Amino acid sequence: MKSFEVRNLWKEYGDQVVLERVHLALAGNEFVTIVGASGCGKTTFLKMLMGDEVPTRGELLLDGEPLPTEPGPDRGVVFQRYSVFPHLTALENVMLGLELRQAPLAGRLFGAARTAVREQAAQGLAAVGLQAALDKYPAQLSGGMQQRLAIAQAVIMRPRILLLDEPFGALDPGIRSDMHGLILDLWRQGDMGVFMITHDLHEGFELGTRLLVFDKVRDDPQAPEAYGATITFDIPLQRRPPPDVMEAVRRATAPAGAPS
Amino acid sequence: MRRLINRKPGRAAALGLGLLPFVLVVIAYLFGSHTRLQDNPADKLLPPPAVMVDAIERLALEPSKRSGQRLLWADTAASLQRLGLGVGLSAVLGLVFGVAIGVVPHIRATLGHFLVVLSMIPPLAVLPILFIVFGLGELSKVVLIVIGVAPFIMRDLAARVAELPRELMIKGQTLGASTWQIITRVVLPQLWPRLIHSVRLMLGPAWLFLIAAEAIAATDGLGYRIFLVRRYLAMDVILPYVAWITLLAFLFDWLLQKWARRAFPWAEPAP
Ligand SMILES: Nc1ncnc2c1ncn2[C@@H]1O[C@H](COP(=O)(O)OP(=O)(O)OP(=O)(O)O)[C@@H](O)[C@H]1O
Ligand SMILES: [Mg+2]
């Protein structure tokens, strides 16, 4: 049985069809990478998964149940930017979710409960290599460190699904490969599904167990907004795909009008 | 030759340049005062420094014959109490309504437009109403400041809440935060520095409303004194009082700025 299902999903903004006829069925713990041309609706898809947008039509099911229509602790997110709270130190950022869970009214813990949560958060930060930056504010951290912090903050909640929207898009290539190792480790330990949007095709192939390509199958040059994108390739990645698939995907994801 | 926009004064030069306008104003005053007094020794418009020092000493150190109080301090205490109450109340109201309007869509739909209209009422135009309703005592003066200041703080903070990256609101919810927790742990802490900034900007209008109210109906206060002695053309009192008010206003602004920098090291420094 597949625990995550998308059934005939459509998303429209006014007259613009962004996504159409999206179907998908996955096991709950896959690492799904998503690629596609800019503006084709990848972020929109992720927003529907996180409950920030509602589908115009169709269903999103997790374990047979419709996904809640607002964000919740079962789905963690890391954005490209603004993923961590600027007014909290690294440690406080990671403690926050745990504190909120245990203290509905005060929103913060004191005494022994706080010490326990603090300890857990410090371990979470150590797991992403931030043990030396516990008391720093995000503004004092590098871009890569901020993203690690965001990841630690999200996974400490033990979400069912982790949603990543180009989390490493703003990072240097060298730092990126460190982050790949990190996210794969956390995924293997975490018993969670991962959806990660990337602009880097190589990253998409290397990281995932499954690669989704979003693209338009129908296109009317007179009315570019009449048709939406859908999943045109759904590639299992048990092993490296043969080169001709790579080429087909590269063509599909090239920006419209670019020479191929 | 480097562009003007790239040429920066050094530390000493910056200090000198910063002091320059002050020095020029003082020199211009002394010169003006001197020439006028030479023409007419009885001139009261630009009293020389010695006369002003006399006046300050009299007001600050000698008990007044009428009330037995040292007037400068009594006036200052009365004014600051009104100002503090008015601005403090405005800050509290601004925070409560600003956050509620900024965070909860239903409250925004209900109060958003109303607040805009409310903030357009010219406060001084309703001052007579306040005197009629609340009497000539302290309350009407405090209410005037609140009416003039609170709506702007509310609007400013509501706008600041709306400016918080949407990502942070979603992130908070994925950490399990309820509406209440979003307000107390995500929104409010990020608003404190904005509140201080907003209060700093509104201190000017707050002084304006205070002095206007004191000028019209009061028995003490800095604004009251200035408008009282105006009848005797007592520039030797008016000018030091104006300087004193300016100094107080500057000091509050400076203290608030210092406080914001210290208390919220994570925030970008406000200008
Ligand atoms: N709130 C919105 N209102 C109207 N149109 C929107 C909205 N959000 C997205 N769109 C439109 O939906 C389309 C898809 O946007 P989306 O952000 O999902 O693209 P994307 O695939 O993530 O692109 P990129 O790779 O550049 O991030 C775009 O044409 C965009 O203009
Ligand atoms: Mg996007």
Which of A9, A16, A18 should be mutated for ligand 1, with most atoms under 8 A from CB? A18
Contact at CB, B176 and A72, closer than 8 angstroms: yes
Query: Span B179-197, mean pLDDT?
Result: 94
Q: Whose CA is nearest to atom 5 of ligand 1?
A: A13
- Contact by Cβ (8 Å): B59, B76: no
Answer whether B185 sits within 8 Å of A96, measured CB to CB.
yes
pLDDT(B69) > 90: no
**Max intra-chain CA distance, chain A:** 66
Nearest residue in chain A measured CA to CA from B264 = A87
Lining ligand 1 with CB less than 6 A are A 13, 18, 36, 38-44
Tokens for B37?
Answer: 């007094």
Phi and psi of A3, rounded to 5°? Answer: -95, -10
Show the tokens assigned to A259. Answer: 């020479």
User: CATH 3.40.50.300: which residues of chain A?
Assistant: 1-74+160-260
> Is the model's pLDDT at B195 over the cut of 90?
yes
Which protein residue has the closest C-alpha to ligand 1 atom 3?
A: A13
pLDDT tens readout for residues A75-128: 999 998 888 999 999 999 999 999 999 998 988 989 999 999 999 999 999 988
Structure tokens at B185: 């742990």
* Cβ-defined contact of A100 to B186 (cutoff 8 Å): no
Which ipTM value was assigned to this complex? 0.86
Which tokens go with A59?
A: 């269903």
* pLDDT-above-70 percentage for chain B: 99
CA distance readout (Å), A120 to A78, A179, B251:
20, 21, 45
pLDDT at A244: 54
The minimal CB distance from A101 to the residues B165, B176, B180 is found for: B176
Q: Which of A77, A85, A87 sits opposite B170 (nearest CB)?
A: A77
Angle, CA B227 vertex, CA B222 and CA B231 arms, to 5°: 140
Query: For residue A46, which of B167, B114, B123 has the smallest C-alpha distance?
Result: B167
Two tokens at A33? 């990478």
Query: A86 CA to middle of ligand 2, Å?
Result: 23
Nearest CA in chain B to A51: B170
Q: What architecture (CATH level 2) is domain B77-261?
A: Orthogonal Bundle (1.10)
Distance A53 CA to ligand 2 centre (A): 14
Which chain B residues have a beta carbon less than 8 Å from that of A83?
Answer: 167, 171
pLDDT of residue A188: 84
Among A16, A197, A227, residue to substitute to test ligand 1 (most atoms within 8 Å of Cβ)? A16
Q: What is the mean pLDDT of chain B?
A: 92
Domain boundaries, chain B: 77-261
Q: Give per-residue pLDDT as tens, B212-269.
A: 999 998 889 999 999 998 988 889 999 999 999 999 999 999 999 999 999 998 886 5
pLDDT at A1: 45
| Cα(A16) to centroid(ligand 1), Å | 10
Identify the burial level of B253 via C-beta atoms within 10 angstroms of its C-beta, where 0-12 means exposed, 13-18 middle and 19 or more buried.
middle
pLDDT at residue number B43: 85
Q: Which regions in chain A score pLDDT beneath 70? A: 1-2, 238-260
Q: How far is the CA of A46 from the centre of ligand 2 (A)?
A: 9
**pLDDT above 90 for B115:** yes
Phi-psi map region of A254: left, alpha, beta (phi>0 left; psi -120 to 50 alpha): beta
Candidates 3.20.10.10, 3.40.50.300, 3.40.50.720, 3.40.50.740; CATH matching A1-74+160-260 = 3.40.50.300
Whether A136 has its CB under 8 Å from any CB of chain B: the answer is: no
- Let me know: does A14 contact A226? Beta carbons within 8 Å: no
What pLDDT sits at residue B109? 96
The pTM for the full model equals 0.85
Of A246, A227, A225, give the one whose Cα is nearest residue A235: A246
Give me the mean pLDDT over the B116-144 stretch: 92
A212, A234 contact by CB (below 8 A): yes
